[in-house]
Amino acid sequence: MTATAEQQGRAAQLRAQIEQHNRAYYELDAPIIPDAEYDRLFRELQALEQAHPELLTADSPTRRVGGAPLAQFDPVRHAVPMLSIRTETDTEDSGALAFDARVRRELGLGEADPPLEYAAELKFDGLAISLRYENGMLVRAATRGDGETGEDVTQNVRTVGSIPLRLRGDAPAVLEVRGEIYMRRDDFEAFNARALAAGEKLLVNPRNGAAGSIRQLDPAVTRKRPLSFFAYGVGEIDGWTPPPTHSALLDALLAFGLPVCAERVVAHGADSLAAFHREVARRRMTLPFDIDGVVYKVNSLALQARLGFVSREPRWAVAHKYPAQEALTELLDIEIQVGRTGALTPVARLAPVFVGGVTVTNATLHNEDEIRRKDLRIGDTVIVRRAGDVIPEVVGAVAERRSGSERVFAMPEKCPVCGSHAVRGADEAVTRCSGGLFCAAQRKQALLHFASRRAMDIEGLGDKLVDQLVDNAVVGTPADLYKLGVAALAALDRMAEKSAANLLAAIEASKQTTLARFIFALGIRNVGERTAKDLARHFGSLDRLLAADPARLQQVPDVGPVVASSMAQFFAEPHNREVIEQLRAAGVRWEEGEAQASVSGRLAGKVFVLTGTLPTLSREQAGGLIEAAGGKVSGSVSKKTDFVVAGSEAGSKLEKAQQLGVSDHRRGGAAGPAGE
């Protein structure tokens, strides 16, 4: 049945609407309608086209869905070969200088001639692709292949939302657009987060994500991959005279509706190319996608033609690469590090490899699950990635390079340092040594933390020294530090008299501290610097803190059940209380204050009685708020009572308060101290 005029009109309208939403989404990054509404329009168009195939146009957005899986990709001969690009990895400015000098020489320019004009752009790290538009319609997409012949990946490329199926404006008879398909870092992270939750295979990095997605045979799979595209050049052109410069050419492609990266400049001379290289290097990590360098091109297309190319590389362009961010190396071993709170952290020992400008030999592996998820085996060839200043990361293993002799890692059942049982909580990712301060590793970490700058600030007590002190059983607890004498220190390796004296002076000076530092220095799990400060302010004295039960602790702002229970556990340990007493006996001191709760706060000095069922809070919660604001909560009404907070079904307490003339503070009720 042929479509009615009405149906024809509706299909055209839907196409226009969907195209508009695509633009809003991909170009302006500002979606106008929710995804569900978009899907509804899309399905309506799909249904119309299915019922009336004659309505289906070459540029219909439904074509992005792709067809059935292919058995193989067909070869495509490029009308104009896809050249490759000469690559320099020189650091600093030499890449730009050498390129400029070469181009000037080849053009016969002398020193008196003015600087050449260049277009400088980013080198996107993805998959090179050629898009062929005929009369504005996308008819074919092909990979670069060997530059002469690539693979027909049209079905897959149609699923890339930011690639127009039809060009905007007055389109040439033929326009081949060259560019890079890539994956944004946030899309990569989000894709992997979802794949992880679904127990599916993760993408190794954004580049593999992009290249692998295009070069696989089922378009339905490609469609689920969040891919993007940037144009950076042209191939065959027919029926159009391109503008005279590369920069204007990219502007023209942008006007046709093709994505062109905005991070590009027109530069004059080598120095300004080098400046672009430096500036992009500085901002590289803040870009939303990976790049592996910058590209310099002679801006004038006429000069490009004069320069020509040698062995498939244009003389008028060069890629100036940055040091690799990823490298392959061997995973020699997985060792276990014991942290201050006993966490057993697996660490990768790697064959030294130069990546992102530094030599990497170690990388954290976070925890057991992470190793399993990445299927890392000892002896594997692994991909190491260094992003910015962050700690190097093992991205994954190259399974194809396995010989069969690789070993699967197992978390040890015992702490490698003290031999105590290693335990992993039911819903925890971390395995911990159960040895506590019996474990030398935990003791060392506890001492280093105690002495650290934001805790007791004992300068000169570094890890080498702590190793010796603990290994020789000179120091077991932080309190032992205050018993150290010159003789004990002088007996240690490489301890000069002068540094021993300095250390003792630093230890002595650390005795005068603050309650907040002291609490932080104890190294209670989940009690960081911020919490220590809050606790010190709230309780004012160590004894009040030691006396507080978990309910009282939770009256401190931001102290929840987890922190309160860590603290309760810590203080319930007689050993810990003993060390605290020894520290005080050794002369560690601070200025004690009043519990802040009793001196300041809006409710300072006021006595409250809570009764009945309160509308939104439990009586305990309400009491906590009152105490946090400086008030007191009492269980029974007396003459000292300032307020009674009465919820529903308040009984005898409210009656008694009314007899005594205490203010009744119900929801919406009058408030005011007794007698006012």
* 54-62, 118-126, 200-208, 505-513 -> range binding ligand D41 (CB under 6 A): 118-126
Nearer to ligand D41, 294 or 548 (CB): 294
- What CA–CA distance (Å, rounded) separates 568 from 481? 25
Structure tokens at 651: 């009984």
CB 65 within 8 A of CB 166: no
Spatial CA neighbour of 386 closest among 329, 326, 346, 328: 326
Tell me the angle at which helices 94-106 and 269-283 cross, rounded to the nearest 10 degrees: 150
Asked if residue 409 binds ligand D41 (CB under 6 A), the reply is no
Question: Which residue type sits at 438?
Answer: F
Selected range binding ligand D41 among 56-64, 80-88, 360-368, 369-377, rule: CB under 6 A: 80-88
Contact 317, 298 (CB under 8 A): yes
**Contact window for ligand D41 (CB under 6 A) among 81-89, 252-260, 352-360, 439-447:** 81-89
User: Contact between 232 and ligand D41 (CB under 6 A)?
Assistant: yes
Q: Is 211 in the site for ligand D41 (CB under 6 A)?
A: no
- Residue 478 and residue 372: Cα distance in Å, rounded? 38
**E-assigned strand segments in 269-421:** 291-298, 309-310, 313-314, 317-321, 326-338, 343-355, 358-364, 377-378, 381-385, 393-397, 407-408
Q: Nearest Cα to 98, choosing from 398, 319, 247, 333? A: 319
- The smaller minimum CB distance to ligand D41, of residues 63 and 297, is found at 297
Considering beta carbons, is residue 85 or 604 the nearer one to ligand D41? 85
- Does 345 sit near ligand D41 (CB under 6 A)? no
CA angle 358, 363, 365 (to 5 degrees): 155
User: Which residue among 314, 346, 356, 379 contacts ligand D41 (CB under 6 A)?
Assistant: 314
Count the residues of the shown chain that bind ligand D41, applying the rule CB under 6 A: 15
Q: For residues 433 and 422, is the Cβ–Cβ distance under 8 A?
A: yes
What is the smallest separation between the CB atom of 23 and ligand D41, expressed in angstroms? Answer: 23
Active-site pick, 123, 321, 444, 653? 123
- How far apart are CB 206 and ligand D41 at their closest, in Å? 13
Decide if residue 276 touches ligand D41 (CB under 6 A): no
Site stretch for ligand D41 (CB under 6 A), options 77-85, 219-227, 561-569, 625-633: 77-85
For helices 574-585 and 561-572, what crossing angle results, to 10°?
Answer: 70
Q: Is 267 in the site for ligand D41 (CB under 6 A)?
A: no
* Site stretch for ligand D41 (CB under 6 A), options 27-35, 83-91, 199-207, 353-361: 83-91
State which of residues 33, 85, 97, 629 lies at the interface with ligand D41 (CB under 6 A). 85
123 binding ligand D41? (CB under 6 A): yes
Using CB under 6 A, which of 157, 295, 521, 644 touches ligand D41?
295
Q: Does 604 bind ligand D41 (CB under 6 A)?
A: no
Whole-number Å distance between alpha carbons of 499 and 431: 38
Asked if residue 384 lies in contact with residue 327, where contact means CB atoms within 8 angstroms, the answer is yes
Q: Which is nearer to ligand D41, 63 or 86 (CB)?
A: 86
Residue (of 120, 78, 129, 80) closest to 99 by Cα position: 120
Q: Does 84 bind ligand D41 (CB under 6 A)?
A: yes
414 catalytic? Reply is no
Alpha helices in 347-496 (DSSP H): 368-374, 440-451, 463-471, 478-481, 486-490
Other Cβ atoms less than 10 A from the Cβ of 58: the count is 13
| Binding-residue pattern over the window 125 to 144 for ligand D41, x denoting contact by CB under 6 A | ---x---------------x
- Contact 167/175 with Cβ under 8 angstroms? yes
Nearest to ligand D41 of 128, 203 (CB atom): 128
Q: Minimal distance in Å, beta carbon 81 to ligand D41?
A: 9
Query: What does the radius of gyration of the chain's CA atoms come to, in whole angstroms?
Result: 35
645: its two tokens: 């907070």
Cα–Cα distance between 157 and 240 in angstroms, integer?
Answer: 24
Tokens of 672: 């005011």
Is residue 246 near ligand D41 by the rule CB under 6 A? no
What is d(CA 23, CA 38) in angstroms, rounded to the nearest whole number?
Answer: 12
321 vs 386 by CB, closer to ligand D41:
321
Give the residue with the Cβ less far from ligand D41, 295 or 363: 295
Interface region with ligand D41, contact rule CB under 6 A, candidates 89-97, 123-131, 374-382, 557-565: 123-131
136, 150, 219, 233: which one contacts ligand D41 (CB under 6 A)?
A: 233
Separation between Cα atoms, residue 503 and residue 475, nearest integer Å: 14
What is the contact surface with ligand D41 in residues (CB under 6 A)? 83-85, 121, 123-124, 128, 144, 180, 232-233, 295, 297, 314, 317
Cite the active site residues: 123
